[in-house]
Amino acid sequence: MRNPLKYASRALSSRSWVMMLFLGAGCFSTLLHATITNVTLVSAPASPQKVGTSVRLTVSATDTDPGPLSYKWEVLNPGFANYSVVRDFSTTSTLTWAPNFTEGAYQIRVTARDYLAGTTAQHVMKFVAQPVISGSQPVAVATANPLVALFSAPTCPVGSTMAVVFQLQGSPNQTVTDSRPCHAGSQNFYIGGMQAQQTYTMHSQVTTGGTVTPGPSISFTTGSIPTSMKFPTRSVPVTPAVGADTSSDIVLNGYTTTPDSPFATDLSGNILWYYTTALQMTRPIPGGTLLTIPNGTGTGTGVWGPGITRQQLLREFDLVGNIVHETNCDRLYEQLQAMGLSDPLGRFNHDAIRLSNGQTMVVGDIQRIFPAGTQGSSAPIDIIGDVIIVLDSNFQVVYYWNAFDHDCAGSGCISINRKGNNTCTTNPNTGQTAGGCPPVLLSSPANDWLHINSIQYLTPDGDILASVRDQNWIAKIDYNNGTGTGDFLWRLGLNGDFTLIGGGGDPYPWFSGQHNPGFINDSEDTLVVFDNAAIRHSKYGGNSRGQVYTIDQVGMTATLALSADLGAYSPALGSAQVMTNGNYNFYAGDITAGKNSYEVQSTEVSPVGTFEYQFQAIGPAKAYRGWRLQDLYHASLNGSGGPE
């Protein structure tokens, strides 16, 4: 049995643990008298400003206790009754924000909090946004991103919806944004997916009942990309063939390390959109926003204290880069502890997805000391597991799944004694871990048990499909929309629960080290996966593969329908998706191209294995995932499914 005192002291930051002992020593009343005063909030530029103006907000406060102080940022849009959390409690005292909903008075509420002392104070500031339009004509203006415009149109009838249609001047190809409900005041859209220094025409499109009414057309010329932005060298070794899905003409690249950052191109490799810094982009989601896992600070009172920033944030941002919602590991761990989680949350990792009900599901890693004998160890051992956290529309915890609570032996199970493929060791000089390892919380070395690197919400039954990389399995979890047992229902892969049909004479037909598997329709019978082929490559050589399986969950068979050699080996990273015409897109993000140089590769493959299109980029960074999209507004909620 674990020693809870020893475990807790290692899991918490030293300051947090000392403070907890201090509270237990009878000094609680002293801390309760601590107060937070002089909470002030300033904006640059000051109110009022035009809709869409980028505003830098700065908060300050005085605390009679040493702190640390953390701040929660909320915004009340004009005409709304409830505040929306933009950034949950964090020690970061500045926020770049844009009043981009409509004109009117916004309320910005900042809560200053000393978590250890149990004290809070608030300040509310009114910020007035003036309309961009005047009269009945729409307007398109520049934003902080030179490839993104703010399109502002007059109000439309309540009960109707509006979208924006835009196209490169002289081109027949049109892009249509998502449709949004009409409301009082001007209607505002960020228009993204445009080349630099080009002129585009755009107009609104109002739908009332079955009637579509176009608005007047205007033009907008994009700016130039700053010279400070660096992009890898791009090429198209396979131009679109006759069978290519040319309607999905955007390649979105999720670069994760500097100097490169996420960017999108057209099928010729021309830049259409970019983000300014490197981060882990998990998913584009409908409506023109993106879910990401960046580095950053939390509350300063979590398991790391104020020192660790690696993958500590979960952020949704829009096409300009404005934060829509953000939280951090420290803040979620507070809520998880209150719900009964005792294993420390080290970071977010690998995936975050948006559910159809507006909730967000994110993966994190947790750690626990297990007794000697576990996974063959001669002494107590630190094992890294996974937690799946479900958040409401304000990024507040409503549910969690702890893998440690569901280890078992037998059919469908994943035993804690089934050792994973990776051991994580902390470098004593840098304090960092290598490769895909999280920071080690409790005791180095630590065994990475599951390494869940993607999740998919299954709409027919409300369960979760998880890619369990370190076990070379794809597993189904009994989530059942939050009412399930949480147990593993089955495991797909070598020595799992399914009998493989097909594979020919391949010495290792199953996937291994896989990324981003997903069912491509609601019947859960066709599954696509990026097969890194880690074990196959180590034993027999060969490249990574794009695979498609026909799954029979009654007869428990998996028929290998496609296993396409992608022409290169990517030991890590990657994604897979079905396209609108029935082809598949397989994205490799970690192909060695030379010393400190990596190649990413997006390959469109037909159902019979022919290459219909291929994009490549070579540079100093790797890319976690990539997607082929019709536009930046209609990404799929279903992970590996096609556009909505």
38 and 175 in a single domain? The answer is no
Show which of 182, 198, 221 is a domain's final residue.
221
46 and 145 in a single domain? The answer is no
438 and 363 in a single domain? The answer is yes
CATH number of the domain enclosing 63? 2.60.40.3880
CA distances (Å), origin 582, targets 214, 245, 337, 578, 585: 32, 9, 45, 6, 10
Question: Considering the domain boundaries, does residue 640 fall inside one?
Answer: no
391 and 460 in a single domain? The answer is yes
CATH number of the domain enclosing 595? 2.120.10.30
Residue linked to tokens 């996966």 = 529
Which residue range is the domain that position 210 belongs to?
A: 139-221
Q: What is the 3-state secondary structure (H, E, C) of 458-522?
A: ECCCCEEEEEEHHHCEEEEECCHHHCCCCCEEEEECCCCCCEEECCCCCCCCCCCCCEEEEECCC
Give CA–CA dist 130/217, Å, rounded: 23
Give CA–CA dist 7/197, Å, rounded: 57
Torsion 163-168-174-177 (CA) sign: negative
DSSP labels, 213-260: EE---EEEE--PPPTT----EEEEEE---TTS-TTS-EEEEEE-STT-
Residue 346 pLDDT > 50: yes
Question: Considering the domain boundaries, does residue 125 fall inside one?
Answer: yes
294 and 172 in a single domain? The answer is no
Strand 55-63 versus strand 94-97 pairing type: antiparallel
Residue linked to tokens 């051992």 = 381
Q: Which two tokens stand for residue 527?
A: 């599954």
Question: Considering the domain boundaries, does residue 29 fall inside one?
Answer: no
194 and 274 in a single domain? The answer is no
Span 383-412, mean pLDDT?
A: 96
Cα 593–chain centre separation: 27
Nearest to 415 by CA among 455, 478, 499, 473: 473
Residue 6 pLDDT > 80: no
pLDDT score of 375: 95
Nearest to 384 by CA among 369, 399, 401, 397: 369
Give CA–CA dist 307/13, Å, rounded: 9
pLDDT score of 368: 97
118 and 143 in a single domain? The answer is no
Phi, psi of 117 (to 5 degrees): -85, -15
563 and 468 in a single domain? The answer is yes
The answer to whether the predicted template modeling score (pTM) of the entire model surpasses 0.85 is: yes
209 and 337 in a single domain? The answer is no
82 burial level (CB within 10 Å; 0-12, 13-18, 19+) = exposed
Span 248-254, mean pLDDT?
A: 96
237 and 254 in a single domain? The answer is yes
Give the model confidence (pLDDT) of 167-224 as tens digits.
Answer: 999 999 999 999 999 999 999 999 999 999 999 999 999 999 989 999 999 999 999 9
Residue 29 pLDDT > 60: no
Show which of 76, 108, 130 is a domain's final residue.
130
User: Where residue 638 falls among pLDDT bands split at 50, 70, 90?
Assistant: low
Nearest to 265 by CA among 234, 221, 240, 244: 234
Show which of 103, 130, 157 is a domain's final residue.
130
Question: Considering the domain boundaries, does residue 550 fall inside one?
Answer: yes
Residue 550 pLDDT > 70: yes
Question: Considering the domain boundaries, does residue 23 fall inside one?
Answer: no
424 and 550 in a single domain? The answer is yes
67 and 198 in a single domain? The answer is no
Q: Number of folded domains in the chain?
A: 3
User: Where residue 435 falls among pLDDT bands split at 50, 70, 90?
Assistant: low
Give CA–CA dist 452/619, Å, rounded: 27
Task: Kindly state the DSSP code that residue 602 receives in the 8-state scheme.
Answer: E
Question: Considering the domain boundaries, does residue 22 fall inside one?
Answer: no
Give the model confidence (pLDDT) of 105-150 as tens digits.
Answer: 999 999 999 999 999 999 999 999 999 998 889 999 999 999 999 9
Question: Considering the domain boundaries, does residue 152 fall inside one?
Answer: yes
Question: Considering the domain boundaries, does residue 567 fall inside one?
Answer: yes
